[in-house]
Amino acid sequence: MTGLSERAAALVTSEPLMAHLATSVDDRPHVAPVWFDYAADRGVFEVLTSGRKLDNVRENPRVALSIQKDKRGQAQWKVTVLGTATVVADDDAVRDATRRINRKYGAEESAWPENELVRISVGTATVSEY
C-alpha cells in the first residue's frame, strides 16, 4: 500500500486532530501525542518532534500512528498506521512543515523551533468507523 485509501485520507485531513505516535527502542514502547499533517500526494505523514520520540525514531524507524475522532467521549472513527519514519535534514522542508503544521493547529508559525521533521511512510493502514 502506498499512502492511505481515499476514505482514510479524507478522515485524517477533515480537521485538526491529535495523533498518537508510538515508537520503540530497546523493546520498550513510548507513545506520545503529536500534531501532524498528511501529504496525500506523497503518501506520508509529517510530524514535528524532539526529545525521546526523535531519539527513538533514530534508533528504530518502525513506528505506529493512531488518529481518532471522538464526539462527547464516543469514538466516531479511527485510523491506525504502521510505517517507517525518517528524520528529514532538509532545512527548507523543515521550515515549510513547521509553518504548515503550526498554522493548522493555531500556533505561531515559528513556534517550537527546536522540533525536527519526521516523515512516516505508510506501510499498512486500517480504518474503523463506529
In a domain, 58, yes or no: yes
- State the virtual CA torsion across 32, 17, 66, 57 in degrees, nearest 10: -50
Q: Which structural domain range is residue 115 located in?
A: 6-129
Of 125, 116, 126, which Cα lies nearest the Cα of 44?
125
CA distance 32 to 53: 8
In a domain, 113, yes or no: yes
At residue 31, the pLDDT reads 96
Helix and strand totals (H; E) in the chain: 3, 7
What CATH number has the domain bearing residue 109?
2.30.110.10
List the pLDDT tens digit at each of the 130 positions of the chain.
Answer: 468 999 999 999 999 999 999 999 888 999 999 999 999 899 999 999 999 999 999 999 999 999 999 999 999 999 999 999 999 999 999 999 999 999 999 999 889 888 999 999 999 999 999 9
In a domain, 15, yes or no: yes
In a domain, 1, yes or no: no
Residue in the structure block whose three cell numbers are 519514519: 85
| Strand, coil or helix: 15 | coil
In a domain, 71, yes or no: yes
At residue 3, the pLDDT reads 85
In a domain, 109, yes or no: yes
In a domain, 47, yes or no: yes
At residue 19, the pLDDT reads 97
CA distance 55 to 89: 14
Structural domain count, the chain: 1
The reported pTM is: 0.91
At residue 91, the pLDDT reads 93
In a domain, 11, yes or no: yes
